Amino acid sequence: MAGAALVLALTGCGGAVTTPAAPAAPAATMSPTVPAGCPYPQRGGTCLGPLAGGVYRTVSFSPRITYNVPSGWTNVEDLPSIFLLVPPVGTVDGVDADTSDFVGIYRGVAPADPDCAKGAQKGVGQSSAALAAWLRAHEGLIATAARPVNIGGVTGLVIDLRLDPTYRGTCPYIPDRSPVVPLLYGVQSAGVEHGINRSYTTRLYLLDSQGANTVVEVVDHAGGTGTADYARIVERLRFG
């Protein structure tokens, strides 16, 4: 499956700044309009589909995530190690077609093999520091400095990425052989094999959660103009 953030498989995206952790939402604020079931059974697990504005919790993703979204967002996937939200400006089909923005959360992620093989880059750790260093050193990426972040009590680093306009590397699975950098490989989140091309920018929150890392991927096809809006969704996340 080709797609946004080169979502090849999404089945069962300045100086030191600390993102302040927002107060946890009380259980009483949970949305009373939870959809009856996932409308995408081929891919979505226990996803909720289109959402009214409110506070929700994952069912399958571990650790459970509490998230707060305005009306118009869609929960496309809720799997044990993959969770996906699509904003009102995006579409479910657009995620696979590489035209839609999204916010993805993955448990247990490593750098993808740079030679386009199915697997992780050997010799690179999965801590936030190791992942950020690998991303900043990659010849095909233009990356900001990694900044400390705290998302719902889980700490790590956040980094913004885009493909270097002079980079010409590609992979055999790209039909038109356009430039791409293999980016993320799901060691525990089976099916996450993501790259980055020139059609969007990516913000990665690399979180050092217990047992395995958690990576939040924000994909923005408008050159980063929507990243701040999506960041507000990410900064309200609560794990556990």
Cβ atoms within 10 Å, residue 9: 18
Q: Out of 32-41, 117-126, 153-162, 218-227, pick the least confident.
A: 32-41
pLDDT, one tens digit per residue, over 213-236 is: 999 999 999 887 888 999 999 999
Q: Would you state the pLDDT for residue 2?
A: 35
Sorted by sequence, the CB contacts under 8 Å of residue 147 that are 6+ apart come out as 14, 15, 16, 17, 18, 157, 158, 159
pLDDT value at residue 36 = 77
Q: Where are the alpha helices (DSSP H) in the chain?
A: 92-97, 128-137, 227-235
Structure-token pair, residue 212: 């395995």
DSSP 8-class letter at 198: T
pLDDT score for 44: 86
Task: Calculate mean pLDDT across residues 114-132.
Answer: 94
**Nearest Cα to Cα of residue 227 among 127, 109, 102:** 102
- pLDDT of residue 11 exceeding 80, the answer is no
pLDDT digits (tens, 9 = 90+) for 128-184: 999 999 999 999 999 999 999 999 999 999 999 999 999 999 999 898 999 999 999
Residue 74: CB atoms within 10 Å: 22
2 or 86, greater pLDDT: 86
* Residue 43 pLDDT level (bands cut at 50, 70, 90): confident
What is the signed CA dihedral for 48, 93, 189, 80, rounded to 10 degrees? 10
* Contact present, 140 and 198 (Cβ < 8 Å): no
| Structural domains in the chain plus CATH codes | 4-239 (3.40.1000.10)
The CA distance from 184 to 169, in Å, is 16
pLDDT of amino acid 16: 34
